[in-house]
Amino acid sequence: MAGHARYTALLDACVLFPIAMTAIMSLATTGLFAAKWTRRIEDEWMAALVRHRPDLAGKLDMRRDAMRDAVPDWQIADGAWQPLVPSIALPDPNDAHVLAAAIAGHADCIVTTNLRDFPLEAVSAYGIDVVDPDRFIVHQWDLDTLVCVAAFKRMRARWRKPEATAEDFARALERGGLPATAVRIREAAELI
């Protein structure tokens, strides 16, 4: 199986469920990079969100399906990554499936907030970087500022509070763990 022609990012579950992290999904729809994940990663983000918000139990299929529709080539098939799991050693064995999926999906990086769970010595042999979501977004911004500004403008327009200012938007991203992204939003406030 050939690799993806664009930069490919495997999205860990921890970057798919917090609302501020949906910024990555907004950028994925622009074509700046190929976003990938697995059904197991989907199950993990959905379970994590329900743990934080029990009222959403049984109500996440629409969001999951919207993500799939937004990134049609999202899936790394179970049969591609599952055979690799036994050969992977990580500090948390429950994360082996993430590295296995990145390998099988020819990912250039894993985007995760759990950087410690993917030490350099475990992933470097596969040519895969492990990137914090905030740093990943800023790198995308540096590669194509106009595309990113437009994506964030669309994201802000989808907010349930249309009266929210660009500063409100930046603060929400900052609270959600994206401080450098919030700085970029503030710098482009007139455009967003």
Cα–Cα distance, 163 to 41 (Å, whole number):
34
Residue 104: name the closest of 132, 130, 76 by CA.
76
**Exposure string (b/e) for 37-49, b if CB count within 10 Å is 16 or more?**
bbebbbebbbeeb
Domains in the chain, start-ordered, CATH in brackets? 8-136 (3.40.50.1010), 137-187 (no CATH)
pLDDT of amino acid 2: 42
In angstroms and rounded to an integer, the radius of gyration of the C-alpha atoms of the chain is 17
* Confidence at 157, pLDDT banded by 50, 70, 90: confident
**In this model, does residue 1 exceed pLDDT 80?**
no
pLDDT of amino acid 20: 65
pLDDT of amino acid 158: 83
* Confidence at 5, pLDDT banded by 50, 70, 90: low
What is the layout of strands, in order, in the sheet containing 34-36?
A: 34-36, 8-11, 109-111, 129-131
**Exposure string (b/e) for 53-68, b if CB count within 10 Å is 16 or more?**
eeeeeeebeebeeebe
Residue 96: name the closest of 41, 147, 42 by CA.
41
Residue 116: name the closest of 86, 140, 137, 95 by CA.
95
Cα–Cα distance, 56 to 69 (Å, whole number):
21
3-state secondary structure of 73: coil
- The torsion region of residue 88 among left (phi > 0), alpha (psi -120 to 50) and beta comes to beta
pLDDT of amino acid 6: 79
Can you give the pTM of this predicted structure? 0.92
Q: 156, 109 in Cβ contact below 8 A?
A: no
For 21-42, the pLDDT digits (tens) are 788 989 999 989 999 999 999 9
What is the percent of the chain where pLDDT is above 90? 79
Find the mean pLDDT for residues 127-138.
96
pLDDT of amino acid 162: 66
Q: 166, 185 in Cβ contact below 8 A?
A: yes
Q: 67, 74 in Cβ contact below 8 A?
A: yes
Look over the chain and give the mean of its residue pLDDT values, rounded to a whole number: 91
Alpha helices (H) in 9-59, listed in sequence order: 22-28, 39-52
Of the ranges 1-5, 12-16, 34-38, 103-107, which one carries the lowest mean pLDDT score?
A: 1-5
